[in-house]
Structure 1
Amino acid sequence: MPFGQLLIEGLAMGTCYGLFGLAVVIIYKTSEVVNFAAGTMAMFSTYIAFHAMTLYGCPFWLAFILALVFASLLGVFVEYFFLRPAKDPTLLG
């Protein structure tokens, strides 16, 4: 493999790791609960966009907007039903 290709792939991979780390830190600073499901939520949103483009023939920009809306709704759902209860646990739970 040429050096330039390895360099570009390394930068792309490092950028992905950096963005994942940034997402975990932002979630922790805003909710004070560590949530490692950020990668899973991002991958699920990507899966939604992929299926919108391949199965339904949506253009890229529409699938991208659909994935953003879905990710936002999924984030609100996780925040209200999982992260907020974990922030103030009860004696038994």
Structure 2
Amino acid sequence: MALQIDVDVGWATLVLNVVAMALGFAIATLTRLGEKRVTAITVEVGIQNGTLAIAIASTPTLLNSTIMAIPGEIYGLLMFVTCAGFAWWSSRRQRLLKA
């Protein structure tokens, strides 16, 4: 049961991360900020405040719930994977555009 909840939370946080990055990329691209700024904004949106979510959920004076910190913990792990994938894609895309 607990594993299924973690898997469900993992998928939800992954979708949240990818959708947020896609929106950041789309909006930055539509405003014609330039490749470097588009990449920076997309990564910044992708690496959001996972640590802040954990702190708020687990601090005794706030929510004091380790269970509520689980999404923040999973997001904190996934955000680096998705941002690394985006950085690789962006680097490759820039090289192809220059060629």
- Greater relative contact order (Cα 8 A, min sep 6): structure 1 or 2? 2
Normalised by the size of structure 1, how large is the TM-score?
A: 0.43
Larger radius of gyration: 1
